[in-house]
Amino acid sequence: MFFYDMIIQIDIWDRELQQENADFSRDTTMGRLDELLREMEEYARTHETPILTEAARPVYLRTVRAAAPRRILELGTAIGYSALLALREAPEAELVTVERDEALAETARENLCRAGKKYESRATILVGAAEKLLPTLSAPFDFVFIDAAKSRYPDFWLGVQPLLAPRAVVAADNVLFRGLVEGEGSEEWPKHSYRTMVLQLREYLRLVRSAPDFQTEVFPEGDGMAVSRRNE
């Protein structure tokens, strides 16, 4: 082998090695993220922190994927679990997520940090009440996930309207709350502790279904997820 051939051969080996290393680090990043997500699920279980349930997860993932959003808004961060899932499903998207509990927001920040720069650099966590922060946000968002105080869902729906992109998708979790909102078993007047929440969730469904620019589908998986697509 001539000297120049050798240099070229070494260069090829070098590039092959670099490619293998890049593939490997991509794989380990994926593996690490899966591990972190499992850890977060365990944390949520032991600390009784409500996060997206296993039953609702496929609907959520499918919805994010289909929306292919560039900007995501989430109301209710908790420990950052659904935020991380959304950032994974929409690898180009930026996400703004709002959490009123400072300690939870801090835990979410740590989790996003642990997920790596690829995720952390695309996420902004705002601490405060969503109803107060919504008017301060800048439009447009392609995908909105409503997962904060259920008794405020109608306010959240109205509050996000000026922020929506023309073909935005708005998903809201827990809209069927334990089967008390509609369908069989919901005929009785809800018991006192749930009354406001159930009535507000009914109002949410009334609002989304009567919104002229939106098509809404309610998926029964988990606690019910309403997915409203704007068709402007």
Ligand X SMILES: C[S@@+](CC[C@H](N)C(=O)[O-])C[C@H]1O[C@@H](n2cnc3c(N)ncnc32)[C@H](O)[C@@H]1O
CB of 50 vs ligand X, minimal distance in Å? 4
User: How far apart are the C-alpha atoms of 15 and 19, rounded to whole Å?
Assistant: 6
Q: Which stretch binds ligand X (CB under 6 A): 117-125, 127-135, 162-170, 187-195?
A: 127-135
**Could you say which residues in the range 33-52 bind ligand X, by CB under 6 A?**
50-52
Q: Which stretch binds ligand X (CB under 6 A): 14-22, 97-105, 175-183, 220-228?
A: 97-105
Interface with ligand X, residue 78, by CB under 6 A: yes
User: How far apart are the C-alpha atoms of 128 and 125, rounded to whole Å?
Assistant: 10
Instruction: Give, in degrees to the nearest 5, the angle at Cα 84 between 40 and 70.
Output: 170
User: How far apart are the C-alpha atoms of 51 and 145, rounded to whole Å?
Assistant: 13
Residue choice 71, 88, 122, 152 for contact with ligand X (CB under 6 A)? 152
> Closest residue to ligand X, Cβ-based?
76
Report yes or no: 219 and 227 within 8 Å, Cβ to Cβ: yes
CB of 62 vs ligand X, minimal distance in Å? 15
Instruction: Give, in degrees to the nearest 5, the angle at Cα 157 between 146 and 151.
Output: 70
CB of 168 vs ligand X, minimal distance in Å? 18
Q: Tell me whether residue 71 or residue 152 sits nearer to ligand X (CB atom).
A: 152
Bond into 140 cis (ω within 30): yes
Residue choice 33, 36, 64, 98 for contact with ligand X (CB under 6 A)? 98
128 phi-psi bin (left φ>0, alpha ψ -120 to 50, beta other): left
CB of 104 vs ligand X, minimal distance in Å? 5
Q: Which stretch binds ligand X (CB under 6 A): 7-15, 63-71, 125-133, 183-191?
A: 125-133
Q: Tell me whether residue 26 or residue 38 sits nearer to ligand X (CB atom).
A: 38
For residue 29, give both structure tokens.
């990043």
Alpha carbon distance, N-terminus to C-terminus of the chain: 66
Q: Which stretch binds ligand X (CB under 6 A): 5-13, 26-34, 71-79, 192-200?
A: 71-79
Interface with ligand X, residue 76, by CB under 6 A: yes
CB of 11 vs ligand X, minimal distance in Å? 47
Residues 6+ apart with CB under 8 A from 51: 40, 41, 44, 78, 79, 81, 82
User: Interface residues with ligand X (CB under 6 A)?
Assistant: 50-52, 75-76, 78, 81-82, 98-101, 104, 129-131, 147-149, 152
